[in-house]
């Protein structure tokens, strides 16, 4: 059961911690576009506190219900800046096309990084296929002071020219061809953006690290130094005590704050199919600790998403 302190601010939902530093399960909610605004507000409050929340038993929900519920939390974007998805809001996360088995924050290669992602289980393997999230706010606060001072001043170049069709996926015939086709679609437009390594969260005011696998280099550093520094900072993000690992069941929905997390889809389910449907909600343009906004170097993401305001929806 949730402790009294955990439940103190919630009248309409139950919130149960899954791990000590990130992640909670929300109970007592059946998602829909008809949810009471007070329920939606409590879900968002739990999300901001826990970084990622999980709702089991949402077997009634199809794509339309997922979208209608997402609209209660914010403004859905197109599926992806370069991947067509369903052409409207849904991006299928399908093991036949890609496996995002690398630590990342969604779509950091554009200026308007999505605020929130909602991922619903469709087809699950008989084993494995878990997803892990890391708390990038806690990672920042736990940095040794010299590293925090350094991170506050760093900027990084993010690009979508990242190889989702990783070498270990090669040589598998038809499956490999699907990976290659997905890669070509993913890279059909080039995006490149400079982001502060430390951003101010627009709703909580917290400082969070902006890293992950879309980082190409740090501004002002050469490649070897960038690689060494990236690995050092990423190690703090992905420290096990800073993470939560979710074992999916049919009917599960995960919602995460994309501004304060990274995640990793574990590729340990052999050749079994795995498919989930993702909707992302429009976000703002990150701002550094000095109040300087991210800058676009290549690409225009306006067709993918508007720039969101900071006011909560619902």
What is the 3 state secondary structure string of the chain?
CCCHHHHCCCCCCEEEECCCCCCEEEECCCCCCCCCHHHHHHHHHHHHHHCEEEECCCCCCCHHHHHHHHHHHCCECCCCCCCCCCCCCCEEEECCCCCCCCCECCCCCCCCCCCEEEEEEEECCCCCCCEEEEEHHHHHHCCCHHHHHHHHHCEEEEECCCCCCCHHHCCCCHHHHHHHHHHHHHCCCCCEEEEECEEECCCCCCEEECCCCCEEEECCCCHHHHHHHHHHHHHHHCCHHHEEEECCCCCCEEEEECCCEEEEECCCCCCCCCEEEEEEECCCCCECCCCCECEEEECCCCCCCCCCCCCCCC
Catalytic-residue membership of 104: yes
312 pLDDT more than 60: no
Q: What is the pLDDT of residues 205-249, one digit of tens each?
A: 999 999 999 999 999 999 999 999 999 999 999 999 999 999 999
Mean pLDDT over residues 134-144, rounded?
A: 98
Indicate the pTM of the whole model: 0.91
Catalytic-residue membership of 16: no
Catalytic-residue membership of 97: no
Cα 197 to Cα 147: distance, rounded to the nearest angstrom: 12
Q: Return the minimum-mean-pLDDT range out of 5-9, 74-78, 171-175.
A: 171-175
Q: Which pLDDT score is estimated for 95?
A: 84
67, 72, 104, 201: which is the annotated catalytic residue? 104
213, 263, 274, 277: which is the annotated catalytic residue? 263
Mean pLDDT over residues 68-81, rounded?
A: 96
Q: Which pLDDT score is estimated for 169?
A: 42
Mean pLDDT over residues 22-30, rounded?
A: 97
Mean pLDDT over residues 289-302, rounded?
A: 97
Q: What is the pLDDT of residues 83-125, one digit of tens each?
A: 878 889 999 998 877 666 899 999 999 999 999 999 999 999 9
Residue boundaries of the structural domains of the chain? 4-298
Distances (CA, A) of 198 to 245, 289, 291: 24, 7, 11
Q: What is the CATH number of domain 4-298?
A: 3.60.130.10
Catalytic-residue membership of 106: yes
311 pLDDT more than 50: no
314 pLDDT more than 60: no
Q: What is the pLDDT of residues 161-215, one digit of tens each?
A: 864 434 344 444 555 766 566 566 556 689 999 999 999 999 999 999 999 999 9
51, 106, 199, 252: which is the annotated catalytic residue? 106
């Amino acid at each position: 059961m949730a402790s009294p302190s955990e439940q103190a601010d919630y009248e309409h939902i139950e919130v149960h911690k899954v791990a000590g530093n990130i992640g909670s399960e929300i109970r007592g909610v059946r998602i829909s576009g008809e949810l009471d605004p007070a329920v939606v507000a409590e879900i968002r409050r739990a999300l901001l506190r826990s970084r990622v929340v999980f709702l089991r038993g949402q077997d009634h929900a199809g794509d339309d219900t997922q979208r209608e519920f997402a609209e209660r939390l914010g403004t859905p974007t197109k599926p992806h800046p370069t991947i067509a998805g369903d052409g409207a809001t849904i991006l299928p996360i399908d093991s036949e096309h890609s496996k995002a088995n690398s630590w990342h924050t969604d779509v950091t290669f554009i200026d308007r990084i999505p605020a929130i992602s909602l991922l619903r289980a469709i087809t699950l393997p008989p084993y494995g296929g878990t997803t892990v999230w890391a708390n990038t706010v806690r990672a920042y606060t736990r940095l040794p002071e010299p590293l925090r001072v350094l991170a506050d001043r760093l900027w990084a170049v993010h690009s979508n020219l990242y190889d989702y069709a990783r070498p270990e996926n090669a040589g598998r015939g038809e499956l490999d061809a699907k990976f290659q086709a997905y890669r070509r679609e993913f890279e059909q437009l080039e995006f490149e953006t400079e982001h502060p390594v430390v951003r101010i969260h627009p709703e909580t005011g917290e400082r969070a690290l902006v890293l992950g696998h879309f980082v190409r280099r740090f501004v002002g550093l050469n490649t070897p130094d960038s690689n060494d520094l990236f690995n050092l900072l990423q190690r703090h993000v992905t420290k096990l005590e800073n993470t939560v690992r979710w074992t999916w069941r049919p009917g599960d929905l995960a919602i995460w704050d994309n501004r304060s997390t990274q995640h990793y889809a574990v590729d340990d389910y052999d050749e079994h199919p795995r498919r989930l449907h993702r909707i992302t909600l429009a976000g703002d343009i990150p701002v550094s600790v000095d109040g300087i906004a991210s800058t676009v170097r290549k690409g225009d993401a306006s067709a993918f998403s508007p720039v969101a305001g900071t006011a909560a929806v619902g």
